[in-house]
Structures are given as C-alpha cells and as structure tokens.
Amino acid sequence: MSKEPESLQSVFDGVFDGISQVREAFAPQLTPREVGTITSVATGIAKVSGLPGVGFDELVTFPGDVLGIAFNVDEGEIGVVLLGEYWHLHAGDEVERTGRVMDVAVGEGLLGRVIDPLGRPLDGKGPLVSSKRLPIERPAPAIMDRAPVTVPLQTGLKVIDALIPVGRGQRELILGDRQTGKTAIAIDAIFNQRGKDVLCVYCAIGQRASAVAKVVANLKEKDAMDYTVLVVTEGNDPPGLAYIAPYAATSIAEHFMEAGRDVLIVYDDLTHHARAYRELSLLLRRPPGREAFPGDIFYIHSRLLERSTHLSKELGGGSLTALPIIETEAQDISAYIPTNLISITDGQIYLSPSLFELGVLPAVDVGRSVSRVGGKAQRAAYRAVAGDLKLAYAQFEELETFSKFGARLDEDTRKTIEHGRRIRACLKQPEFAPVSVPAQIAVLLALAAGLFDSVPLEKMKVAEQALLEAATDIPADVRGRLDTADKLSDEDRKAIVEIARKALEGFSPKPDSTPEQEQESGDQPKLKGSTPEPESEAKQKSSVHPASEVKAGASVEPKPGSKPEQKPEPKQNTEERTHGKDQVEPKSNPEIKSDEDNAEAKPRTPPKEKP
C-alpha cells in the first residue's frame, strides 16, 4: 500500500519537470500583420486604406470570414472585389492581408459535387475531400507544350458531329438568342461522354436557381454526375463570385488535364460574366469603352479560353475542350462580346430562332456555323460522307429560298429540294437522345445513297428510327473500324448501305403511286397543280373565251335581229359571270338594253363562221 503513493509522486514529478523544460525553452516570436481599414462599402466592392504592401489580385479577409480580391491598387487606397455577403461590413472595420492569391480545391473528390467558386459545397453532402489547391488564375500552356487537335469529341448530335465537328482540345462557341437551345446542346454533349473516359465541368455563371436545379436533375437522371463537376453562381450572388467562377472551373479542369485526362468544360454563359465584370469596373471607376465595357474585356476572355488546349505526349497528352456559350440580341452576332469570342475561339455553332420556331431542333444554322479545325478532328468515315452532305444541304437552302418566289422548277431542282428536305428531317434530333457513331454513319450513308428520297416526309421520323434500330446489326468488326482513323472501305460502305436499304424497304411508296406522292410531298403550289396552273389556264381561257362565245352566237343566230335566238344570251352572260367579273362587265349591258340596241350592237363584231 505504501508503494503506490511513491509511484504516483514520481510520475507527477516527471511531468512537471518536462513542462518546466518546455517553458524555459519556449521563445515567443512576433509575427507582423498588415491590417487596414474599410473606408467605404458599395455594391460588391469596398475601398480599403492602410495596406501599402498589398499586391494585385491578392486575397484579403474581412470580418465574418468574407474574402476579397485586390483589383485597383492605387497610392492611397485599394479597390477590393467582395466574394461574399457584405451587408454586415461597415466603414472602419479591419481588413487583413493573406499574402496569397485566390485558389480553389481540385482533385477526384470533386466529381459528382456541386460547389461555388470558393470551393464551398452547395449540395449538402458534407465538406469536400481534396489534398491540393490551385490558383484560379494560371498562365496558359506554352506553344511548344501543345499538340495538334486530331481526336474528335463526339457530341452525339448528328448535325454537329457530321457538319461542324469538335475536336478534343478545341474551343467551339455556342451562340444564339435566348431560349433557342444553347444549354441543351452543351448538356447533350455531357451526356454523350458517358463511357468515353472524358470528365466534364459545367460552370453556371449568374444563372437562375431553377435553371441550375433542372440541369442537376437531368444529370442525375442520366447518371452523368459520376464524371461531372458543377461550379455554380446564381443570379443573386455578388458580381465578384460570377467574375471568378469560370477561372475557378478552369483550374479544376486543368488539374485533370495535367494528369493526362480528357476534359470537357462548359461556360454557361460568358455574357453574364462580361456583364459582371462591367459592373465591377464601373463601380471601381474604371474608364468605360464600347457599350460601357472596360478596355480589357477582350483580355479577360482570351486568357480564360487560351487555357483550353491539347497537351503534348511529354506532358501526358491530356486535353481540355471548351464550349463557351454566348447570348445574342435580335440575332446580332456582330455585337461587341460575340465578335470578341468568335475571334478567340476555333469556330462557332449558331442557333437560329427562325429554325427553332419551325421545329427544327437542334436549331443549328449550318450556313453561319463553322469549325476551324474541321475534318482534321473527324473520323474518316464521317469525312467520306459529310463533305457531299454539307454541299447538298447548302444548295437546298439556297434553292428553297429561291423557290418561295413561286418560280417554276425543273426536275433536277425539284429533286435537289426534296433531297434537302430529307437531310433536314434526318438532322432533327430530340433532346437528351444522343446517337452513337455507327448509327450516325448509317443515317449519313443512307442519305448520301438517296435511300430516304423515296420516303414521304411524314414518315421520315419513323423511318429514321427504324434505321437507328437496324444499325445495331452492323457487324462488330465494321463497328470497330468506324471508331478508328482508317478510311471507310467499299466493302464496309456496301454492308452498311445494304442494312439501311433493308430497314427502309417498308417505307417507300408503291411504284404506281410514286408520282402522286412526289407531287404531294412538294411544298410548291405549282407542283401540286391546284392554284397557279388553274389561274394560268383561266387567263388563257379569258383571252379566248369572248371570241369563242361570239362565234357560238354567230353559229346559233342566223340573223342579228331575231328575238327568239336572243333569249339564250342572258344564260350565256350568267355563265360568263361565273367565269370571271372581267368577262361579264362588257356583256352585262345588253341584258338591260332593248332589242333594238342589241340589234345595233351585234354588227359591231361581225360574226365569223367556225371552221
């Protein structure tokens, strides 16, 4: 019993001795901090004084863990862009430097998550798991670190993959008026990357919360969240968050690209980004330029999109493909921001409101859309068909516009128009329904071979669906060659065309009814034989009819003055009224005049015997 207190005493002595040694060895160190004060607060910005050593784009902290970025670095004060709620900030509050720039968490833990540009989760799934952070502003890869764009990025949309191909590492602009399906094309491209080893980043800039919720619900429904990261700023967020959102999303995507992965990033949309930057610049008293945008509005987008590229094999061979979205006003693609981005990107996909109203979805205007990478980022099987298809479609659009004037069309022109209508019908595609490469090749080859020309327009949708289902019967070895860079051989072409011909046999009309159905399928009234031709015939009849009536009268009446033979004339006049008013008016007077007047009037046109 006596040994236990001694042992406890020795333990306590050892502990206290260790504490005293640590206390003696501790030397307090003073860490200097640079603290300033707020001089004024406005909408989304703050003016701060007392920070002479702050740098451009440096991160500063405000009370309540609100962050800000130093934008204007003047001699007496700095202009700070606030990145959070600022209603509790007042003049005189302390502001502290952090000594670092704005950064964001990156890594595999972000896949399937919805975050804001600061890296804070918005989906209620707990904190992010990340071991690395990258600055949101990073220099673009050097020229010698880049590789040519040679591998296609399949969007699953026939009109884009065939006529406006997009390659991995390319920057393809999507522009059009509001509510024309711009976001739908980008979301379809994300859906089509499932199982293709491509990661996706969707950046919503200043979007409505309901629109973002719809996108998230669609991605979850199609199981696309497993390979997608969403960076979201809503319309009610401060303009500073909308400004840094695309840069933060690009840093997240660059981390995967530098690891050798292929990444697709969607900026939806950069119009809100430009407006947010204009708002911040005007509040910070920067001089405005065209449309009140600051002078460096071109630079903020060029340095963002130049980070999208295809890296060389020495750096892993990863790629970052960008699909920026721009909203135009009244189809004006020559406005300031659209022209800036057209000159920065490698092509554009223009969506026409008139095609959208006609039900041509996706409403891609092929004439105004272009891919500056073109066939270099397209499979050889597409190149074998797409060139002729685009030419035929362009000819059809020109002829369709010309035919609206009511001109008579020859047989070749009519066939070109009918073929173009079937091309347009095949390029239609419902939303969230991507088409595989073999199925697209089958449809394009069937169009090039003219197999759809005999199918009535009202049956095109059903016929195309039957062909898509029959495309699953393409042999596996042929399907494998379609996904390679090898040229499409004649044997493979014949095999696919034969499958398409068998699938479309039941939709072609019978030979005896073909001419009638071809006339019914045309949109021109003259081809139908209903309106213009009867008018022309009526004109010809009107020029011949009076003389023929006079001849008939001369053959019936032996003498001009006989009354019994004048009685049928009113009947002829009433019949003439039914033919046209222009023919009745000259002969309406003899009905009212007396018989003597009729006798005097008839010798004026001497009758001739009918041969």
Contact between 267 and 143 (Cβ < 8 Å):
no
CA distance 477 to 500: 17
Q: Where are the beta strands (DSSP E) in 63-180?
A: 66-73, 78-82, 94-101, 103-106, 114-115, 132-135, 173-176
Question: Kind of pairing, strands 228-234 and 198-207?
Answer: parallel
- Which is catalytic among the residues 208, 290, 372, 408? 372
Backbone angles phi, psi at 454, to 5 degrees: -90, 0
The encoded tokens of residue 497 equal: 């065309």
Helix axes 297-305, 239-258, angle to 10 degrees: 30
- 424: CB partners within 8 A, 6+ apart: 360, 393, 396
Distance, CA of 120 to CA of 116 (rounded, Å)? 6
- Is 100 a residue of the active site? no
DSSP 8-state class, residue 170:
-
Beta bridge partners of 323: 266
* Closest of 494, 434, 493 to residue 468, by C-alpha: 434
**Alpha carbons 197 and 199: distance in angstroms, whole number:** 7
Which one, of 308, 353, 304, 345, lies nearest residue 328 by Cα? 353
**Please, where are the H alpha helices in 335-475?**
336-344, 353-357, 380-403, 411-427, 437-448, 460-470
List active site positions.
Answer: 372
